[in-house]
A and B are shown apart, each in its own frame.
Chain A
Amino acid sequence: MTAVAPSLAAAPQAAGEVLLEVRDLVKHFHVGAGFLGRAVGVVRAIDGVSFEIRRGETLGLVGESGCGKTTTGRCILQLERPTSGRIVFEGGDLGALSDDELRKVRRHMAVIFQDPYSSLNPRMSVGEILEEPLKVHGIVPDRVARAARVRELLEQVGLLPQHARRYPHQLSGGQRQRVGIARALAVEPSLIICDEPVSALDVSIQAQIINLLEELQARLGLTYLFIAHDLSVVRHISDRVAVMYLGKVVELADRQALYEDPLHPYTRALLSAVPIPDPQLEARRERTVLRGEVPSPLKPPSGCVFHPRCPIAIDRCAAEIPPLREIKPGHWAACHLA
């Protein structure tokens, strides 16, 4: 296969309805405000990203800071207007919708943020926080019914009815993230964008929240885009995983294929950098420590953006951009040598 973008319809195991399709997404930010606010540079935050998410699945999006994973999520939510490319959600092209139509469609998407403390209004009680989307979107206009729905939401995320009267500062980090999840559920979304939902939490609490997300997915038929930098967590929760580097998807595959048979040298380096909690195993493990740092998205390298740090780069890599191609069925990588 030589297709340029991953089309899961072409992959043999592709089954089920596509809920979200991202096609050739580009987001550039103009920065710098030189003299009179003239732009002095372009940050290529996302540079041609394509993937699909099927209803009911979890797609993990991993990469290091600045790779564009959060911006991708924000473009899907229409919190950023893409520079170019298409985002098709529930069959509708979000870029082609009127504001009114967009508002209706967007109700079926929700987001869970990394830091539950800064994303909950400190002056609102938990009950008010959960009621607000029900009111704003006219989901439950009746006051009594709304209170019942708030109780139901609290119960779904493992909190008690009396938590409705508490304020965010009276809750622990794990409880606050449960409120963040309940708020996302309030709009009855089909897609939830989880942007580093457990990375601010203590280790012992992370597992609680991950289990909760999985239970809710099974019970409510949710679809997740799970954005994270922790590769172990992403392996646990995702059905398929996309690896991003400097604004591009460099590898995309089923969970098992990606972790057991990574084809892109960046994915291999990432996996080898994760320390494993077992001293005896660690002592025997071979590691690829990458040289250098992620280059600036203001001036991405020529050819393959990973080539300056790549342990196996050849001359061709500096000259020619490797397309994301299907190397094995359902397993895509953007590497000349894969």
Chain B
Amino acid sequence: MATLLEVRNLKTTFLTGAGIVRAVDGVSWDIQEGETVALVGESGCGKSVSALSIMRLIAPPAGRIEGGEIVFKGRDLLQLPEEEMRDIRGKEIAMIFQEPMTSLNPVLTIGRQLTEGLEIHLQMPPEQARARAVELLGLVGIPDPERRLAQYPHHFSGGMRQRMMIAMALACNPSLILADEPTTALDVTIQAQILELMQDLSRRLGVAMLIITHNLGVVARYADRVNVMYAGRIIERATAVELYSNPRHPYTLGLLKSVPRLDEPRRARLAPIEGQPPDLTRLPPGCAFAPRCVYRVERCAEAPPLAQIGAADHSAACWESARLEKRVAA
């Protein structure tokens, strides 16, 4: 498989009243063609900002991409003029947001919102765009698509709106879809429908997908490879199978241990990660997770690099990851 997107040492900052927030702080990762990769982490870890940076949707003057490269099909997106970037957004790379209601235009019909991109990006004549819109709505499982074209987003339920978002994302046959918490706002039975649909379409159409989520179960079911983020950095990366069976960063291990699981006997007590998520304007020097870490040693005052450990394609940013392996083996 060829590399579709490669992010190298990306740095995105925001100037806030409380100081500079390094939302994404030197992050590198990649996606191969047709692959599903997950960015996992809790609120404020930089996962959404990573996606917005790829689309170059970081709003100035407060937000700024300070450095790094985003190489998509051999071109660095950060170096492209805005007009060329506009050809990539929605056409080559599409995005699905968490809140379909706030990301659809309430005063445009479903049909118009679907055909707009087709007419602009692919120069389709209106009749052909309309036919393609009907086809797309059918593809994402919206019944009676002809009639639906004349309706507005408020006529749609939450699940239907998210299907519509997926149809819009697929409209121009993109090679990459960035899905930012695509099912977080949905009920669990609808979540299952939407995720199955996304997985099915990505396989059938060969679209690569970046899934951004905080839900470890969703990642386990749908991702090939996983990047775990904490405080603006990737702290662990592995294939999904490897990450779940052999977590090598204390934060990943803590997350996995803190959630109650339906497939295991009920535990008397949950094992939370103690302490509070970090304040991004006042990060400690060294490892940002150290203040909450039970494996902390003196050396953690110095930030550990994301280094390969054990199996190929498994890296963790922890001085003590070897101790975690013993823990798992024991």
Contact of A232 among B160, B214, B262, B271 (CB under 8 A): B262
Across the two chains, which residue of chain B brings its CB closest to A289? B192
Q: Knowing A202-B214, A233-B260, say if A279 contacts B244 (CB, 8 Å).
A: yes
Residues of B within 8 A of A208 (CB): 272-274
Would you call A203 an interface residue if the criterion is a C-beta within 8 Å of the partner chain's C-beta atoms? yes
Main secondary structure of the interface of B (DSSP, over half): helix
Q: B188 touches which one: A205, A259, A270 (CB < 8 A)?
A: A270
* Chain A residue at smallest Cβ distance from B226: A279
A173, B279: Cα distance in complex, Å: 12
Kindly list chain B residues whose C-beta atoms are within 8 Å of the C-beta of A204: 42, 254-255, 258, 272-273, 277
B188 touches A235 (CB 8 A): no
Chain A window 274-309, contacts with chain B (Cβ cutoff 8 Å), 1 for yes, 0 for no = 111111111000010110011000000000000000
Alpha-carbon separation in the docked complex, A208 to B292 (Å) = 13
Contact A231 B262 (CB under 8 A): yes
Cα of A207 to Cα of B292 in the assembled complex, Å: 14
- Is B82's CB within 8 Å of the partner chain A? no
Q: Are B187 and A65 in contact (CB under 8 A)?
A: yes
Stretch touching chain A among B58-66, B127-135, B217-225, B280-288: B217-225
User: CB-nearest residue of chain A relative to B215?
Assistant: A275
Cβ-based interface call for B196 (8 A): yes
Check if A203 sits within 8 Å of B258, measured CB to CB. Answer: yes
A214 to B218, CA, bound (A): 27
CB within 8 Å for A276 and B190 given contacts A172-B277, A236-B270, A281-B263: no
Q: What distance in Å separates the Cβ of A125 from its nearest Cβ neighbour in chain B?
A: 19
Residues of B within 8 A of A64 (CB): 187-190
Q: Which chain B residues lie closer than 8 Å to A217 at the CB level?
A: none
CA distance A287 to B189 in the complex (A): 11
Q: How far is the CB of A76 from chain B (nearest CB, A)?
A: 23
Contact A202 B187 (CB under 8 A): no
* Cβ proximity bits B246-281 to A, threshold 8 Å, 1 near / 0 not: 000000001110111111001101111110110000
Closest to B183 in A: A275
**Alpha-carbon distance A305/B216, docked complex (angstroms):** 32
Q: Collect the chain A residues with CB atoms within 8 Å of residue B195's CB.
A: 275
Per the bound structure, the CA–CA distance linking A281 and B187 in Å amounts to 22
In the assembled complex, how far is the CB of residue A279 from the closest CB belonging to chain B, in whole angstroms? 4
Chain A residues lying within 8 Å of B301, measured Cβ to Cβ, are none
**Residue from A211, A236, A269 within 8 A of B189 (CB atoms):** A269
**Nearest chain-B residue to A172 (Cβ)?**
B276
> Is there an interface contact between B277 and A211, defined as CB atoms closer than 8 Å?
no
B-contacting residues, A193-209, CB 8 Å: 202-208
A229–B274 Cα distance when bound, in Å, is: 24
Q: Report the minimum CB–CB distance from B154 to chain A (whole Å).
A: 14
Is B214 a contact of A293 with CB atoms below 8 Å? Answer: no
Decide if A41 is an interface residue (CB 8 Å cutoff).
no
The 0/1 profile, CB within 8 Å of B marked 1, for residues 18-56 of chain A is: 000000000000000000000000000000000000000
**A202→B214 CA distance, assembly (Å):** 8
B215 and A278 within 8 A (CB): no
Distance (Å) between the CB of B186 and the closest chain A CB? 9
Report A-chain residues with C-beta under 8 Å of the C-beta of B266: 235-236, 255
Please tell me if A273 contacts chain B, counting CB pairs below 8 Å: yes
Kindly name the residue among A175, A203, A205 whose own CB sees the greatest number of chain B CB atoms within 10 A: A203
Knowing A232-B260, A236-B260, A276-B263, say if A203 contacts B216 (CB, 8 Å): yes
In the complex, whether A174 has a CB less than 8 A from a CB of chain B is yes
Are A174 and B276 within 8 A (Cβ)?
A: yes
A118 to chain B: closest CB distance in Å? Answer: 16
**In residues 167-208 of chain A, which contact B (Cβ within 8 Å)?**
172-175, 202-208
A321 within 8 A of B: no
User: Which of A205, A214, A229, A277 interacts with B220 by CB under 8 Å?
Assistant: A277
B309 in the interface, Cβ–Cβ < 8 Å? no
* CB atoms of A282 and B260 under 8 A apart: no
- B42: contacting residue among A203, A279, A287, CB under 8 A: A203
Residue of A nearest to B45 (CB): A202
9 A-B pairs closest in CB distance? A275-B217, A207-B272, A64-B187, A236-B260, A207-B270, A204-B273, A202-B42, A273-B192, A277-B216
Chosen A-B contacts, 5 in total, with CB atoms closer than 8 Å, are A64-B189, A207-B271, A275-B192, A278-B244, A281-B220
Q: Which residues of B contact A (CB under 8 A)?
A: 42-43, 157-160, 187-193, 195-196, 214-221, 240-241, 244-245, 254-256, 258-263, 266-267, 269-274, 276-277
Give me 18 other A-B pairs in contact (C-beta within 8 A), A205-B277, A233-B260, A280-B244 excluded: A65-B158, A202-B277, A203-B214, A203-B255, A203-B259, A204-B272, A204-B273, A204-B277, A207-B270, A236-B266, A255-B266, A272-B192, A273-B191, A274-B217, A275-B195, A277-B217, A278-B261, A282-B221
